[in-house]
Amino acid sequence: MLKSSKKDWKSCGNGGTIEKFKRLAASLLLIGLMGFLAACGNKDENGTKVVLTTGFGKDEIFRIETISCKLPEIMIYLTNSQNQYEGVFGEQIWDADIEGITLEQNVKDTALARIAQIKTMNLLAQQYGVELSEQEMELAKEAAGTYYNSLNEAEKEQLGVAEETILSLYSEYRLANKVYSYIIKDINPEISDDEARTITVQHVLIKTYTLDGTGAKVEYSENARANAYEQARKVLSLAKDGDDFEELIEKYSEDNKGTYSFGKGDMEKNFEDAAFNLEKGEISGIVETEYGYHIIKCINTFNREETDANKVKIVEERKKEVFGQEYDTFVSTLTRNLNENLWDSVTFIHDPEVKTSDFFDIYGQYFKE
C-alpha cells in the first residue's frame, strides 16, 4: 500500500499536468509499487534468489515459485491502465515522461509490479491457509462473466483472453485483499489527539522556481530569488499591518490553493514546523521551502473532524506497515523468474476498437472492500 504523499504547491501551470500523471499512476495501484522482478544474477541486495530467464512456457511473462503470469493476464492490467490514462488525458499523454522515464514504460512497470505483487500475496495466502469461500468464488465468476461479456470481438482477440483468465485474475485479486485483511486484523493502535492533530492554515506562496516546456522545475537565478524574497517581505509587512489575508492570497500568492488542512508528517518539514507553532490567528515570518517563500496564517489549531479522520488514516498506515514487514520477509524467500525478452516485446494496443477500462471497476461492484 502506498503512504499518503506530502502535499505540494506544484499544481500551477504545466507542473499540474505532471502531478496529475503521478497521482493517477498511484491510484492505479492496489497495494503499492515494489521493484520485485529481476532477470539476472544470483542474489539481490535483500538476499532474494533471482533466476535467469530460461525454461518458460508459451506466453509466460514471469514465474514466482509455483505461480506464473501469462501474456493475456498482463495485457488485461496493461490495457485497462492505458485506457484509463487516455480517458482522462487523451492519446497525446504518451508523449510525456516522468523524470526521464516515458510514461508508457512507467505504466508497463506499474502493471507488472501490481500483478506480481498480487500473485505473491496468493502464495502468502497459501502459507496462512487463507482461501476464498464458495460465495466469494461465485461472485468472482459473476464478475468475470460481466467483464468478459463487456468485451467486443476485437478486444477479446487482441487481448488473447478467455473468460477463465478473467475468473483467475478476479479470484487472485480477491484473495490478495483477503490475506491482507487476515494479517492486519488484530492491529488496532490507540492514536492520541495530539498525534493525529490536524490544523488549518492559509498561506501566500512566492515561488523560487519556474517550469520549462516539459514541466520540469528550474530554480530561479540568485537575482530572481532575491526579488522573490523582497516580494515576500512586502507581503509579510502588509499582513502584519492588518491587511485582509485572503485578499493578500488573491493578489500575491502563486499557489492555486490558499488553505490547507493537514496533520504531522503531511507537509514539508519547514512549512509544517512553522505552522504547528502558530496560535490561532497568528502570522508566521517568511518560511522557506523547496517551492519558495511562504507567509502562513493559522486559522485553526485543532480541527476535531479532520483529527478524527486523520486517526483513521494513521491506523491504516500502521496496518500497512505491519503487513509490509510480513510481506518483505516472505518475498526474501522466493525464487523469481522474468521472461525478459517477452516482456520487452510487450507494447500498448493502439486500436480504436480496444477501449476496455473497467476491469477494476467491475471487481469493485462485486467485492466491497
pLDDT the model gives residue 140: 97
> Quick one: residue 99, left, alpha or beta (phi over 0 = left, psi -120 to 50 = alpha)?
left
Q: Is 44 a domain residue?
A: yes
Domain end call among 275, 301, 327:
301
292 and 318 assigned to the same domain: no
DSSP 49: B
Residue 118 in domain: yes
Residues 327 and 246 in one domain: no
Determine the pLDDT at residue 40: 30
- Same domain? For 67 and 119 the reply is yes
β-partners of residue 177 are none
- Structure-derived torsion over alpha carbons of residues 4, 8, 13, 16, reported in degrees to the nearest 10: -10
| pLDDT number for residue 43 | 40
CB 215 within 8 Å of CB 17: yes
DSSP H or E stretch at residue 70: strand 67-70
How many Å apart are CA 273 and CA 318, to the nearest integer? 23
Query: Which pLDDT score is estimated for 46?
Result: 44
Residue 209 and residue 295 in one domain? yes
Same domain, 88 and 228: no
Query: Residue 296: left (phi > 0), alpha (psi -120 to 50), or beta?
Result: beta
Residue 343 lies in a domain: yes
Whether residues 261 and 168 share a domain: the answer is no
What is the distance between the alpha carbons of residues 105 and 207, in angstroms, rounded to a whole number? 32
Is 85:93 a contact under the CB 8 Å cutoff? yes
294 and 351 share one domain: no
Determine the structural domain holding residue 125 and report its residue range. 31-188+313-366
17 lies in some domain: no
Domain boundary among 301, 324, 353: 301
| 162 found inside a domain | yes
**Domain limit, last residue, from 247, 277, 301:** 301
Looking at the structure, tell me whether residues 38 and 154 fall in a common domain. yes
Instruction: Evaluate whether residue 18 is within a structural domain.
Output: no
pLDDT of residue 54: 58
pLDDT at 24: 45
CATH of the domain at 204: 3.10.50.40
Q: Is residue 120 part of a domain?
A: yes
Whether residue 167 is found in the same domain as residue 48? yes
| Whether residue 163 sits in one domain with residue 89 | yes
Indicate whether 264 and 323 sit together in one domain: no
C-alpha closest to that of 62 among 3, 13, 116, 11: 116
At residue 194, the pLDDT reads 86
Does residue 24 lie within any of the structural domains?
no
- My answer on whether 210 and 274 are in the same domain is yes
Q: What does pTM read for this prediction?
A: 0.68
Q: Could you give the number of structural domains in the chain?
A: 2
Spell out the per-residue pLDDT of the chain, length 369, in tens. 222 333 333 333 333 444 444 444 444 433 333 334 433 333 444 444 444 445 788 899 999 999 999 999 999 999 999 999 999 988 888 877 766 778 888 899 999 999 999 999 999 999 999 999 999 999 999 999 999 999 999 999 999 999 999 999 999 999 999 999 999 998 888 899 988 999 999 999 999 999 987 778 999 999 999 999 999 999 999 999 999 999 999 999 999 999 999 998 899 999 999 999 999 999 999 999 999 999 999 999 988 888 898 899 999 999 999 999 999 999 999 999 999 999 999 999 999 999 999 999 999 999 986
